[in-house]
Amino acid sequence: MAMSCLETIQAYGLRSLGYGERLLPRDDFTLCQHFTLIGSGLIWNVYFGVLALLFGFFLANALALAKAAHSPWLRKPAEWFIFVFRGSPLFIQFFLAYELLVLLPKAGINVLGITIDTSWTTRAWAGALFVLFLNTAAYSAEIFHGALKSVPKGDVEAADAYGITGWSRFRRILWPTMLRLGWPAYTNEAIFLFHATTLVFFSGFPAFQQRGDALYYANYFADKTFNPFIPYPIVGFYFICLTLLLIWVFGLINRRLNRHLPSNLRGRIRLRPQLIR
């Protein structure tokens, strides 16, 4: 009863989300099954990567500004936050976060008579996303902070000369320039964040109903076939594709950020890791 590849894709294409065949393949492993299931797991890597990046971007901006602030009440907490998250391995952050989250009362927290359910926080989709969000925010904040410090003095002086001040000076002069300068390094951060998502099920959060990411399924196959040379390179292949896609998307944004510059000055995106994980 060998399944055709199309049937395999129908059965396992969305397995990582809990749809399709409930039991994972147990014998007669085919290459098609490898590619389908590992590809299915990649959905989670994309989910973690995209959402953490999206939320992290906003927090990173706030943190970068706080770190550049004069008031120590803003600056110190931001500096500490960035130091702790950049200074420790993500893997330990996952572990400690998980340990903290399981301490929340299972029955839920009672706030003003309304019971808030807490059990979902230990699930990877929420807990790991939260850690990745904080982690990438810290790394990106450092990048943006560095970029903010290197905004050309002339730009700011020109803004002053035109009478552009306060919020509008920030929004129209400082912030776009900061993004433009920090963008190549931010692209690297994005790549590394996507790579870091493979740690979620590997050493952080438990896999629920055998729903995991690309590495989880690769591990499953390596475990069943006792052959690591097929599943792990497949994960590598998927990630190279993902990285290329990411570089392309960030390149497009980079072009837009630099569109006002004369074409010979427009720096092509240079993948020089300024600040990477």
Partner 1 sequence: MKKMMLATAVLALTAGASLAQDVVRIGTEGAYEPYNYIDQATGELTGYEIELGNELCKRAELKCEFVQNAWDSIIPNLQSGNYDLIMAGMSITDERDQVIDFTQNYIPPASSAYVALSADVNVGEGAVVAAQTGTIQAGYVAESGATLLEFATPDETVAAVRNGEADAVFADKDYLAPIAADSNGELVVLANEVQLGGGVGIGLRETDTELKDKLNVAIQSMKDDGTLNTMIKKWFGEEAQTF
Partner 2 sequence: MFEYCADPSQLSGLTWLSCYLTTGTHFNFYRSFVTVLMLLAVTAPVALAFGFGGAMAARSHVTPLSLLGRGYIAAVRGVPDIVYFLFFVIALDQGIEWTKHLFVCDDLSQPVWNGTEFRVCPAAKVPLATSSAIWHSAYAFALAVFTFALVFGAFAANVLYGAMQAVPKAQLETAEAYGMTPRQVFRRILVPQMWVYALPGLSNLWLILIKATPLLFLLGIQDIVYWARELGSAKTSGNNPYPHGDWRVFYFLALLVFYLAFTRVSEIVLARLTRRLSHGQATLGGEQLRKAGA
Residue numbers at the binding site for partner 1 (CB under 8 A): 23-24, 26-27, 102-103, 106, 122, 202-203, 206-210, 219, 222-228
Output the six-digit token pair for 221.
């196959």
Considering beta carbons, is residue 156 or 164 the nearer one to partner 2? 156
What is the three-class DSSP state of 89? Answer: coil
Closer of 40 and 177 to partner 1 (Cβ): 40
Distance separating alpha carbons of residues 254 and 262, to the nearest angstrom? 14
CA–CA distance, 127 with 125 (Å, rounded to integer): 6
Determine, following the binding rule CB under 8 A, whether residue 86 of this chain makes contact with partner 2.
Answer: yes
Triad 220, 224, 229: Cα angle to 5°: 80
Smallest gap from residue 220 Cβ to partner 1 (A): 8
Tell me the window of 20-28, 172-180, 215-223, 249-257 that interacts with partner 2 (CB under 8 A): 215-223
Q: How many CB atoms lie within 10 A of CB 277?
A: 16
- Sequence-separated (6 or more) residues with CB below 8 Å from residue 42: 213, 214, 238, 242
Nearest approach, Cβ of residue 67 and partner 2 (Å): 15
**With respect to partner 2, which residue has the nearer C-beta, 11 or 132?**
132
Stretch 220-249 residues interacting with partner 2 (CB under 8 A):
222, 225-229, 232-233, 235-236, 239-240, 243-244
Question: Cα 163–148–275 angle (5° rounding)?
Answer: 165
The interface with partner 2 within residues 105-144 (CB under 8 A) comprises: none
Measured from the Cβ of residue 270, the count of other Cβ atoms closer than 10 Å reads 10
Q: Does 191 bind partner 2 (CB under 8 A)?
A: yes
Pick from partner 1, partner 2, none: which does 170 bind, CB < 5 to 8 A by kind?
A: none
Residue 208 contact partner, candidates partner 1, partner 2, none, CB within 5 to 8 A by sort of partner: partner 1
Residue whose pair of structure tokens reads 């230990």 in the numeric block: 122
Q: Closer to partner 1 by CB, 225 or 258: give it.
A: 225
d(CA 82, CA 138): 5
Tell me the one-letter amino acid at 229.
F
Q: For residues 69 and 62, what is the distance between their CA atoms, to the nearest angstrom?
A: 10
Task: Choose among partner 2, partner 1, none what residue 102 binds, the Cβ cut-off being 5 to 8 Å by kind.
Answer: partner 1
Binding site for partner 2 (CB under 8 A): 83-84, 86-92, 95-96, 99, 191, 195-196, 198-199, 202-203, 215, 218-219, 222, 225-229, 232-233, 235-236, 239-240, 243-244, 270-277
